[in-house]
Amino acid sequence: MKQFTPLNPNFRQRVQDSFKRQEFMNYISASLAVIEPGYCEIHVPYRDELTQQHGFFHGGVIGTVADNCAGYAAFSLMDARDSVLSVEFKLNLIAPGDGKLLISRGKVIRPGRTLTVCQMDVFVVKNRSEKQCATALATIMALKGKSDTRPIS
């Protein structure tokens, strides 16, 4: 994996704080497992509420976790005054999300001043074995000088 130097030495705390503010991540019981410069790993334990009609992880949950993984991989390299927003992502579901744990691993392929390209691979764990269920590419935008917190309404 490429070695990146974060612009903010406090990048791990910023990523953790931002992740905690995402109510949907809390709702699906997602957790940040790994945060490195240009890399993020998110885990989601199986729950019936996160499945489709066959009992597999729903594609929407798989896509959500892939998108968040890309965002936080990119965010880890951004300046302390910047925020992050997905511009686009393409998800290929390559196998059913049949497992007890969903793992998304996202890495920066090319960082940029405004746009960063990331690759994500999503796996399911069943009987202690990982199987890839999706792969994705995303473009993430740095929102220069924009706070990462919600405005007070």
What integer pLDDT is reported at residue 2 of this predicted model?
80
Distance CA 50, CA 52 (A): 7
CB 146 within 8 A of CB 83: yes
For residue 137, the one-letter residue type is L
Q: How much is the pLDDT for 148?
A: 82
| CA contacts within 13 A on the Cβ side of 17 | 13
Q: Which residues of the chain have pLDDT under 70?
A: 1, 153
Predicted local distance difference test score (pLDDT) of residue 40: 98
